[in-house]
Chain A
Amino acid sequence: MVAITATDAGTGGGSLRRLLRRRSTIAVLMCVPLLAVVLGLVAYPAVYSLFLSMLNKAETKFVGLDNFLFLFKRETFWMVVRQSILFALVAVLFKALIGFIAAHTINTIPAKGQRKWRGMMMVPWVIPAALSTLGWWWLFEPTYSAINWLLAEFAIPAVPWLSQTFWARFSVIVVNVWFGAPFFLIMYLAALKSIPEELYEAAAIDGANAWQRLVFVTLPMMRNIIAITVLFSIIVTFANFDIVRVLTQGGPRNSTHLFATYAFRLGIESGDIPLGAAVSLFMFPVLAVLAFVILRNVRRRIQAI
């Protein structure tokens, strides 16, 4: 069927309208598998989750927004909100910075050495996070901490990596940055490679120094890739589960809980699935607006070409 319409479109000199209509039919058909995944496995369960979040604990009664109102009154919930925002913003900022600096540095050295370096730096991204976090946990473990052993060699007192609020928050962010920075690195490196050399040559003729080249050539050219990578990273960092789950289980005193781990504790472990669903959905509107704005700008820029 696809073939027939397309052949028509190619040979027949029919009206433009008909052609467009046929093109859109093909286009929709081509999107059917995508729509099936998005609607069947994300949208439908998401709507069902929304429904779940409006039930009472025993899931026998519809309570509207009561679960959300209930959460708004909980001090612990607001702590989770604050910590999730702190975690996501700080982690993404450092991932973006480290990824950018590392990509830029790799890009300045001779081409034949680049493969080796970037290969080494991809390692954190490639080990499944749930397993590498166990390795980190073993590095932080209070009795056996190899990092503290090293600090002791320099006569620095042991750091309570996971037992004090500040250090526990620090540690989960460090692990997330460690795991996520290579993704930024690779995205940026790819973007850097695709910037035409002529632009830099032109800038050099203009007498631009390295900083100016970075600000007036590199960054504008990478705006889209930075936007998409940061957006993607913000979303998945907000949704992080394994790192906190493995390292701290949300402790000490719930201070490292993120939305996902707190929702798991309430929903699965304490058997209050509607409340857990409400926690999970809390960030949806905020992130949706953010994502929509960023993506619209990105799409406009792509189309402007």
Chain B
Amino acid sequence: MAIAAEARAAGRWLGRTASLSRDRRWALIASYACLVVFAIMFLFPPYYMLVTSLKTNAEIAALTTNPWIIEQGITFEHYWGLLAESSFPIYFKNTVIVAVLVVAITMVISVLAAYALSRLKFWGSGVLATGIFLTYLVPDSLLFIPLFKVVGSLGLLNSYWALVLVYPTLTVPFCTWIMIGYFASIPKELDEAALIDGANHMQMLWRVFIPVALPGLVAAAIFAFTVSWAAFIYPMAYLYSDDQLVLTVGTVTTLIRGDVFHWGGLMSGALLAAAPPVILYAFLMDYYIAGLTSGATKG
């Protein structure tokens, strides 16, 4: 291939530079067109949710109006109803507590394990690294049944602490993998130097690895946050009272009353529930992208 390519390159080299900028312009236009299509595809459902959340109940129920725009005036009653007259703020608070704790627990577990698995190779470390990923093979839609006993015996039925207990099963394996990949990309010379300076492993992890791997940490933390923010089956199975529920389940159970759906409320609840992760991503996206892969891309 190299020879053929060289031949072609030699033939075209002179004419190439002239057309380059025009080619690039067309490529850019194609890219933007492509992006617009993707953006519409990704954003039209949230847009429709937003529009629905701002309509009056009568307009939502009406069949004669254009569903994609608001014809009979904007109302904030659904948002107001959620924030002022329902337990939504409590769900919000609970979700934040659970998500923050789970992120913290996940990071401690993952970072320790990833350091051990990537730097301190020991008998079985390879199997363990593969094995933790395999935990995803046992789906939460099955696990919640045997975990009834575990959660119940700890007295955590109907307590959001049950979620703090079980969510790490959803977050830890993937985060550990991100961290293994990241740690693997840190040059070995760095820890050898630290070891010679007399640092122990904890000190090395804390002073060398964590600062260097910060993007990886942020990426793992965001992943853990997103997953624990959106998890559905466990809270569905373990929580029922208003003071313990989290957003995903609380929004659904408050706003679907029997065979009556409060669409305006559901849509505003969904959008409000999406706000914190959106803000998080907006601020930390660069870290996220920088941290996700680093090590894992090699090869």
Query: Measuring CB to CB, which residues of chain A are less than 8 angstroms from any residue of chain B?
Result: 2-3, 5-7, 9-11, 23-24, 26-28, 30-31, 33-34, 37-38, 40-46, 48-49, 52, 98, 101-102, 105-106, 108-109, 115, 117-132, 134-136, 138-139, 143-144, 146, 149-150, 178, 181-182, 186-187, 189-191, 193-195, 205-208, 212, 216, 221-225, 228, 231-232, 235-236, 238-239, 241-242, 259-260, 263-264, 267, 273, 276-277, 280-281, 283-284, 287-288, 291-292, 295-296, 298-299, 301-302, 304-305
> Are A105 and B66 interface neighbours, CB within 8 A?
no
11 contacts between A and B (CB under 8 A): A6-B202, A30-B112, A37-B169, A41-B147, A45-B143, A105-B38, A131-B269, A132-B46, A193-B289, A277-B145, A305-B299
Take A41-B166, A127-B46 as given contacts and tell me if A225 and B142 are in contact as well, using a CB distance cutoff of 8 Å.
Answer: no
**How near does chain B come to A145, taking the closest CB pair, in angstroms?**
8
Which secondary structure characterizes the binding site on chain A? Answer: helix
> Are B201 and A26 interface neighbours, CB within 8 A?
yes
**How near does chain B come to A277, taking the closest CB pair, in angstroms?**
6
Query: Is B288 part of the binding interface, using a Cβ–Cβ cutoff of 8 Å?
Result: yes
> Are A121 and B38 interface neighbours, CB within 8 A?
yes
> Are B116 and A263 interface neighbours, CB within 8 A?
no
**How near does chain A come to B245, taking the closest CB pair, in angstroms?**
13
Neighbour of B292 across the interface among A124, A181, A186, CB < 8 A: A186
Enumerate chain B residues within 8 angstroms of A207, measured Cβ to Cβ.
5-6, 8-10, 12
Which secondary structure characterizes the binding site on chain B? Answer: helix
Take A131-B273, A302-B298 as given contacts and tell me if A189 and B289 are in contact as well, using a CB distance cutoff of 8 Å.
Answer: yes
A189 to B288: give the CA distance in the assembly, Å.
10
**How near does chain A come to B199, taking the closest CB pair, in angstroms?**
7
Query: Is B251 part of the binding interface, using a Cβ–Cβ cutoff of 8 Å?
Result: yes
> Are B248 and A128 interface neighbours, CB within 8 A?
yes
Residue of A nearest to B294 (CB): A194
Most interface-central of A130, A281, A284 (chain B CB within 10 A): A130
Query: Measuring CB to CB, which residues of chain B are less than 8 angstroms from any residue of chain A?
Result: 1-2, 5-6, 8-10, 12, 27-28, 31-32, 34-35, 38-39, 41-43, 45-46, 48-49, 52, 63, 66-68, 108-110, 112-113, 115-117, 120-123, 125-126, 128-143, 145-147, 149-150, 165-166, 168-169, 172-174, 176-177, 181, 184, 195-203, 219, 226, 229-230, 232-233, 247-249, 251-252, 263, 266-267, 269-271, 273-274, 277-278, 281-282, 285-286, 288-299
Enumerate chain A residues within 8 angstroms of B173, measured Cβ to Cβ.
38
**How near does chain A come to B136, taking the closest CB pair, in angstroms?**
5
Take A41-B150, A118-B285 as given contacts and tell me if A23 and B120 are in contact as well, using a CB distance cutoff of 8 Å.
Answer: yes
Neighbour of A232 across the interface among B117, B136, B145, CB < 8 A: B136
> Are B298 and A301 interface neighbours, CB within 8 A?
yes
> Are B142 and A10 interface neighbours, CB within 8 A?
no
A234 to B293: give the CA distance in the assembly, Å.
19
Most interface-central of B52, B271, B292, B297 (chain A CB within 10 A): B297
**How near does chain B come to A126, taking the closest CB pair, in angstroms?**
4
